[in-house]
Each structure stands twice: as C-alpha cells, then as structure tokens.
Amino acid sequence: MSTHTAPFPDWHGTTILAVRKAGKTVIAGDGQVSMGQTVVKGNARKVRTLAGGRVVAGFAGATADAFTLIERLEAKLEQYPDQLARACVDLAKDWRTDRYLRRLEAMLIVADKDAIFTVTGVGDVLEPESGVAAIGSGGNYALAAARALMDTDLDAEAVARKAMAIAAEICVYTNGSLTVEVL
C-alpha cells in the first residue's frame, strides 16, 4: 500500500529498458498506465527522441513531471551539445536543489550512441556496468531478462524486445505495446 499523501490515485505501470550492444543503443518502453487495479491506457508513449535524434529518453513516474524533466534535459543538451553526461549531471543537480523540481516524481533513462544513464531526483546519474539499465514497476524483470540475453547472438533491439516481452508476462503493470527507439 502506498504511503503517498497526495490526493491523486496511485498510478502504476511503466517498464523502461535500455540496452547497448555491439555499438547499437536501444530504449524500449511499454504502453500501460494503470490506476490501482485498472488499466486506464494501453498505448502510452514513454520513450522520446531528443537533440535532433541523437539522444533517446524514457521515463517512469508521473507523466507531467517526466515531461517537465525531459524539457529541462533538452535545454541542458542545447547548453552542452554532444555532452550527455554533463547535461544529465546538471539536470540531476538542478532536480535535487530546485524547490519546484524536488517535488517531481519521475525517473529517466537517457542514452546516446555511447552511453546510458539513469537519472533520479535524489541526484543519481548512474551508468550501468553491463550495458543494460531499467526503471519502472517491471524494470527489474526486464533488467534480469536483458542481462541473461546479452550473451546470445541477439542484437540490442532483439534483446530489448524479448526482455520486455518477458517483463510483460510477469509484471501486471507492464504490457506488450512497445515504443522502441534505436541509435
């Protein structure tokens, strides 16, 4: 049971997975949004391209909050072109210190052709060791599946799609309606 005290219902339902393999980077996100035990939308788009298609971001959490963060990230990418790590660190710093941003409830996975980062509101900017990162309610299922599939002959997109399918079979807050962006 949620201890969240906001007057809004407890929204669930996101799995975002990033896979980097053999020079190819993929972010996949499912489309399910749930309110309590009810699926309220099955085809939400939680993965976006940024910076003229050079960066991909996926979000989990409150949608309006995530859009605010993505807009801020885009501004940072304009300020620091081709410096994804610096843009993410600057966003995380602002997110942690700005009174308005501190209240936002979302997480991001951001990637370019060279790196993947998980960005959180507590100041984390984490780059995965294994080339795989995941967030959201089905994130741990997708992460485990993708890590197991990394040693196969599947390419990055195939790993992401198969891992997301596995997560959708296990997590009731994840569905098979995917948005997949490839760099």
Q: Is 14 a catalytic residue?
A: yes
Alpha-carbon span 87 to 149, nearest angstrom? 30
The single-letter DSSP state of residue 80 is S
List the structure tokens of 107. 């997480």
Q: Is residue 4 scored above 50 in pLDDT?
A: no
Contact 89, 117 (CB under 8 A): no
Alpha-carbon span 18 to 34, nearest angstrom? 22
Look at residue 12 in the predicted model and tell me its pLDDT.
Answer: 56
Identify the three-state secondary structure at position 70.
Answer: helix
**Please, which residues bridge with residue 55 across strands?**
50
Spot the catalytic one: 5, 14, 63, 68: 14
Task: Summarize pLDDT for 136-168 with one digit per residue, the tens.
Answer: 999 999 999 999 999 999 999 999 999 999 999
At residue 76, φ and ψ (nearest 5 deg) are: -65, -40
Contact 114, 105 (CB under 8 A): no
Residue 63: pLDDT band with limits 50, 70, 90: confident
- Claim: this prediction has a pTM higher than 0.85: yes
